Amino acid sequence: AGREADWPEYAKATKKEVGDHTTNGLWELILRRRVPQDTFVTPGVWSMKRKRRISDRQAYKWKARLAFDGPKQIKGVNYWDT
C-alpha cells in the first residue's frame, strides 16, 4: 500500500498505462525471470500526476506514465523505430 490516500487511483493508472502499451503493440511484456542473465534491461521511471479542477483544486484524474532511459537504448536491440 502507498503512503498517499489516493494510491488506488495511481494503481489503476499504472495498470492502464501498461495495458495501453500492450494493446497497441508497443512492447511485449516478459517476466524478469525469463530474461537471459547477460541481457541489459533498460531502466525506466514512473511519472505520476494528479489533474485538478482550477475552481476548487479537487483531483479528478490520475495519470501514470512510464518513461525509459533513451540514451541507454541501442537501435536494433532495444528499439527499431522512433
Could you report the per-residue pLDDT of 21-44, keeping only the tens digit for each? 999 998 888 898 999 998 888 888
Instruction: Tell me: pLDDT of 74 over 90.
Output: no
Query: Are 39 and 58 a contacting pair, CB within 8 Å?
Result: no
Phi, psi dihedrals of residue 77, rounded to the nearest 5°: -115, -55
Q: What amino acid occupies position 61?
A: K
Instruction: Please report which confidence band the pLDDT of residue 79 belongs to, taking 50, 70 and 90 as the band edges.
Output: confident
pTM of structure: 0.74
Q: Which three cell numbers stand for residue 13?
A: 493508472
